[in-house]
């Protein structure tokens, strides 16, 4: 069996990570998952919570985004595979940023997105190793890839 | 003087690149610019134009995006500085992808975006060397950076 | 003892991998093996099986080859040594591709091929650390290399 | 205009390189081409010609292939784009080796091959930025990619 | 949970490392710490102690600093995160050197320093992922970053 | 003759760069120099001058230091040799940061500093290719290194 | 404690490796050692033993040296520290080769050699982190470096 | 034609570099040569000449070797090909060091040495792209490699 460390990037407003992790566990797949902090509020406020108030929202966001980057960068750099989900809501520029980051490091990544994002995500899809519609398709690939 | 090769990534629906290039020329800045192909139609159709029709739009986009990637990847890798503009329209995931790509390569990049994108672009801004509002601010930095 | 992670690339139509693995196990060599998925049918169809039908065979193959690349790339990048077998059948361009990939990463690789491929494989052999005729020769080298 | 250094790998038994170069010159494309030595006889014998006879054909080939590798490795490493043609004749494992080498370095490459090689070359095509049928298609892409 | 290997660079004249380590242990954070040798005397004299006397203080320091570099370089290169404290005393150029070293390797680092060093440390802070005032702020970030 | 691109880092409060450049010009040495912006006021204020006011001095410094980093990073990365001067005044943590940055990139660097900094700079000196007292010693080395 | 993987390169005609390993074990140092195969005869003949006779001594040596390189390259690349001993006998060009290899990878290395080799080994010593006279000095450094 | 930057390493006690350069010039080969400083006396004394006396010969050599390393490292890193000659005299560990350095960087190198060094240089030859007996053989290869 081949073991994979997988970083789950992108959407943090649905339970897709738990969904994927539970299915992988049920199948006993030899994979380990990591991802960003998904508590949206904690994530937005970690900068000011840890380091003190910022009157300007730009710097509040800046401090939070940098602290989060410690975890995300670490997760992508230690991953054998990155799975990136683009959901229906928000602009999710961070998901596309992570895809570009993974691509430049030569890391394999798989994208999950609805069909109607096809044209808008064509540059992200172009460097992906697979473009899936949902978690089940990802599980099918992981089951295949991690077999004996 | 320090010379800079600058790749202009992001928005292709306004004339911001020409605006920036003309201002830099007027000031005789020691900079060279490159960028993606900005003819939107040609860019969308280069895959099928060069390599033959595709009945499915996914593969039509895929072929085009990969050919465009030859130029974009080359431009970013040869750049000393990447300037990335996020405009008001479209999702512009390719702009965020280029930012992530530049970040992972350790390339300096500068972002231009309207103030109301601050929260949505916080991860992209966090790795930027500067966040500008318009081309004039970029020119002021280039004039400073390329001085004797 | 020196431990080696070994990726077994190339021919998937004979049982050479099992042969090699069993001999290594019998000798208790401190080596771990990985390799591509060797179920030929599953390998050819994983793209359409996981991600949906493709009317054109080019895209069917394309989707499968990219998913397989996740495993192969991962295997080569984590290997201390790559062993690549060229068998009598098929063109096996993927085996030569893996050799080039390993060479560019600075990974040591050993080639197994029949004597009559000598001229055709000269570029692949030129970068190899050894050119063997069969699995027994590889076992002899592994036994030597992994000794105390 | 964006300039490209292009290494022409693969088939050395047809005049496809001259064909491509002449078309690029006629169109004044801002591209420079390099490639392996294409004099087949000189290429096979450079080892013994420069360094002295070898009674065994393996070592004769070995010495030649290594000297040729100095030029090929140099060409690929200095290229912005590699174009690799698989012709109808011979096994051409060196072409697939060059593709793997380029892929591992993160170099963009374009493949030219007849349609009936689709299945056999799927791993090589999977990492390519484009799969063309002939030199004209490559010229069309180069004209597009190197425009202002 | 995400595990972090953390190298503690900088000031060796206070007990900030022990302070940080004890707090992390009390919270059961999934982190491992390493750092330079903090026995000041042993550190200054390791060169002459291990390798023989030096009449000139430059070479005495030189031999010691190189031996210490074996540990520091190893610690930074194996770290997922570097925490660098600038204390009130001494010039601490080694702390700034480590920050530059980490930055060039693309390693995330966090700086701890008193507010009145803000201007003098602006280049070091500019590449940091966070600028903290004390160990408690670092613990708060580590607790956040290493959560499930 | 061997040409050298040399980045002059460190002290910006004396005319040592002009001194070095003029001596090199008089000797017709095949060297090109670059360095940071040395107009101290412009350097401190470029952040707010280009991008708008900051009420907090931390962020004012932060914006300036990042813009300056575009030039410094570019200069070091394109240099064959970095010369770093530590003067008598200020803490000059940026000079030590640049030394660490150069060291991690595998760039050769030469340090200039007064004798009484020997102990405090031992870690910076340990990775240097030479430790000089003044510009004349650097010129003597450059004359030697760039000879036919 | 900081753990070190140490590759022991150079002289294979004395028992210095066993000497060093036993002393490290007695002190319970947190270090792991690896090294080349030190059975001189087996090392010289592994090429022909594993892969078949060679009438010319050049190719006999060539095949052996490449197989040995698999182990040596692997050992150096996985090491945190390389210790290289130059003994009184033989030319030991392989020891100097390993030093250059380690230096280019940015690996710390320590050299052991008799005093009268000082001038001849100056280029090798110049990139070393320490130059020792015997194993005891190395043990003293390892004890220091691996302390808590 | 393919241009090559060639660094000439090794023996500095014969005129082999001039010999090679003159022959290349006569043939108008598109190659540029660089190399270490070959004035033996100047090379041994540059450390004390530029930076002041050293009572101990170890440090005198050390200072000289490091300054020379600035040129050698620069030359190898900018070279497309390294040619390394081992002559009859001296131990020439620096030549083997340069070979190892080039090998680890993935640089092609060619060795020139007398036949009786075959066994002693087997590790250096094993990673070489060619092993020549004299400058004429190198010229023949360069003429071949740099042809149209």
The Cα of G31 is separated from the nearest Cα of chain H by a number of Å equal to 25
> Is residue C1 scored above 80 in pLDDT?
no
- The three-class DSSP label of residue A82 is strand
Beta strands A81-85 and A130-132, pairing class: unpaired
Per-residue pLDDT of B87-125, as tens digits, reads 988 889 999 999 999 999 999 999 999 999 999 999 999
Beta strands in chain F (DSSP E): 4-10, 31-34, 81-85, 108-112, 130-132
E60: nearest CA partner in chain H: H59
Q: Out of B34, B42, B78, whose CB is closest to D144?
A: B42
User: Rounded CA gap, F127 and F125, in Å?
Assistant: 5
Confidence of residue A56 (pLDDT cuts 50, 70, 90): very high
Measured CB to CB, residues of chain C less than 8 Å from chain G are: 2, 4, 80-81, 108, 110, 129-133, 137, 140-141, 144-145, 147
- What Å distances lie between residue D49 and D61, F107, H132, H137, CA to CA? 12, 40, 12, 9
pLDDT score, position D72: 98
The Cα of E15 is separated from the nearest Cα of chain F by a number of Å equal to 21
Residue D133 token pair = 């049928």
DSSP string, C112-128: E--GGGTTTTHHHHHT-
pLDDT score, position E148: 86
> Is residue G148 scored above 90 in pLDDT?
no
Long-range pairs of D43-47 with CB within 8 A, sequence gap ≥ 24: D43/D12, D43/D68, D46/H141, D46/H144
Listed residue (A30, G127, F145, B6) closest to E70, CA to CA: G127
pLDDT score, position E105: 98
> Is residue D127 scored above 90 in pLDDT?
yes
Per-residue pLDDT of F115-144, as tens digits, reads 999 999 999 999 999 999 999 999 999 999
> Is residue B8 scored above 80 in pLDDT?
yes
Q: Classify residue G4 by its DSSP letter.
A: E
Q: Is residue G6 within 8 Å of G83, Cβ to Cβ?
A: yes
Average pLDDT, integer, range D6-15:
94
**What integer best gives the mean pLDDT of chain G?**
97
Listed residue (D107, D106, D125, D105) closest to D115, CA to CA: D125
Phi and psi angles of residue B28, each rounded to the nearest 5 degrees, phi first: 55, 35
Contact B73 D108 (CB under 8 A): yes
pLDDT score, position D148: 86
Confidence of residue H90 (pLDDT cuts 50, 70, 90): confident
Listed residue (F3, F36, F2) closest to F17, CA to CA: F36
Q: Is residue E126 within 8 Å of E109, Cβ to Cβ?
A: no
Q: How many CA atoms lie within 13 A of C80 on its CB side?
A: 21
User: Rounded CA gap, H148 and H143, in Å?
Assistant: 10
The Cα of B23 is separated from the nearest Cα of chain D by a number of Å equal to 18
Q: Is residue F3 within 8 Å of F76, Cβ to Cβ?
A: no
DSSP string, H19-82: HHHHHHHHTT-SEEEE-----HHHHHHHHHHHH---SSHHHHHHHHHHHHHHHHHHHHHT-SEE
The Cα of D78 is separated from the nearest Cα of chain G by a number of Å equal to 20
Contacts of residue E119, Cβ cutoff 8 Å, sequence gap at least 6: F57, F61
Confidence of residue B1 (pLDDT cuts 50, 70, 90): confident
> Is residue F1 scored above 80 in pLDDT?
no
The C31-34 sheet, strands edge to edge:
C31-34, C4-10, C81-85, C108-112, C130-132
pLDDT score, position F25: 98
pLDDT score, position C90: 83
Burial class (CB in 10 A: 0-12, 13-18, 19+), E45: middle
- The three-class DSSP label of residue C31 is strand
Q: Is residue D88 within 8 Å of D63, Cβ to Cβ?
A: no
Average pLDDT, integer, range A71-84:
98
Confidence of residue H148 (pLDDT cuts 50, 70, 90): confident
Per-residue pLDDT of G9-45, as tens digits, reads 999 889 999 999 999 999 999 999 999 999 999 999 9
Beta strands in chain D (DSSP E): 4-10, 31-34, 81-85, 108-112, 130-132
Contacts of E46 in chain G (CB under 8 A): 141, 144
Helix (H) / strand (E) containing B42: helix B40-51
Confidence of residue D49 (pLDDT cuts 50, 70, 90): very high
Contact D122 C69 (CB under 8 A): no
Contact C67 A141 (CB under 8 A): yes
> Is residue G1 scored above 80 in pLDDT?
no
Contact H127 G58 (CB under 8 A): no
User: Rounded CA gap, H47 and F141, in Å?
Assistant: 9
Rg for chain F, CA atoms, rounded: 16
**What integer best gives the mean pLDDT of chain B?**
97
- Tens-digit pLDDT string for chain E (148 aa): 799 999 999 998 899 999 999 999 999 999 999 999 999 999 999 999 999 999 999 999 999 999 999 999 999 999 999 999 999 888 899 999 999 999 999 999 999 999 999 999 999 999 999 999 999 999 999 999 999 8
Beta strands G31-34 and G4-10, pairing class: parallel
Q: Out of H65, H100, H119, whose CB is closest to G97?
A: H100
Query: How many Cβ pairs closer than 8 A exist between chain B and D?
Result: 48
The Cα of D27 is separated from the nearest Cα of chain G by a number of Å equal to 44
Contact D108 B42 (CB under 8 A): no
Length of chain G: 148
> Is residue F97 scored above 90 in pLDDT?
yes
Phi and psi angles of residue C2, each rounded to the nearest 5 degrees, phi first: -110, 125
User: Rounded CA gap, C105 and G28, in Å?
Assistant: 36
User: Rounded CA gap, G139 and G70, in Å?
Assistant: 28
Contacts of G144 in chain E (CB under 8 A): 37, 42, 46, 49-50, 67
pLDDT score, position E13: 87
pLDDT more than 70, % of chain F: 100
> Is residue H105 scored above 90 in pLDDT?
yes
Chain A and chain E touch, per 3+ beta carbon pairs within 8 A:
yes
pLDDT score, position H13: 87
Contacts of C73 in chain A (CB under 8 A): 108
Global ipTM? 0.97
pLDDT score, position C128: 98
B64: nearest CA partner in chain A: A122
Measured CB to CB, residues of chain E less than 8 Å from chain H are: 55-56, 59
Listed residue (C9, C3, C2, C145) closest to C75, CA to CA: C9
Would you say the C-alpha torsion F43, F45, F47, F51 has a positive or negative sign?
Answer: negative
Average pLDDT, integer, range H7-31:
96
Listed residue (B144, E116, B112) closest to F45, CA to CA: B144
Listed residue (F84, F99, F107, F78) closest to F12, CA to CA: F84
pTM confidence score: 0.98
Average pLDDT, integer, range D117-122:
97
Per-residue pLDDT of F20-79, as tens digits, reads 999 999 999 999 999 999 999 999 999 999 999 999 999 999 999 999 999 999 999 999
**What integer best gives the mean pLDDT of chain C?**
97
- What Å distances lie between residue D14 and D11, D40, D89, D111, CA to CA? 7, 11, 10, 16
pLDDT score, position G142: 98
- What Å distances lie between residue G134 and B91, D8, G15, G115, G125, CA to CA? 65, 54, 12, 11, 15
C56: nearest CA partner in chain D: D118
**What integer best gives the mean pLDDT of chain H?**
97
Contacts of A121 in chain B (CB under 8 A): 93
């Amino acid at each position: 069996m081949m073991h994979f460390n997988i970083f789950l990037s992108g959407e943090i407003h649905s339970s897709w990570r738990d969904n994927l992790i539970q299915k992988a566990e049920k199948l006993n797949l030899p994979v380990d998952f990591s991802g960003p902090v998904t508590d949206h509020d904690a994530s937005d406020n970690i900068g000011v919570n840890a380091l003190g108030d910022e009157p300007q929202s730009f710097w509040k966001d800046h401090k939070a985004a940098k602290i989060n980057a410690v975890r995300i960068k670490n997760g992508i750099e230690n991953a054998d595979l990155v799975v990136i989900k683009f959901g229906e809501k928000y602009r999710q520029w961070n998901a596309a940023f992570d895809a570009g980051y993974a691509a430049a490091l030569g890391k394999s990544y798989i994208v999950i997105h609805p069909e109607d994002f096809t044209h808008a995500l064509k540059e992200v899809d172009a460097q992906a190793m697979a473009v899936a519609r949902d978690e089940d398709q990802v599980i099918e690939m992981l089951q295949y890839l991690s077999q004996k």
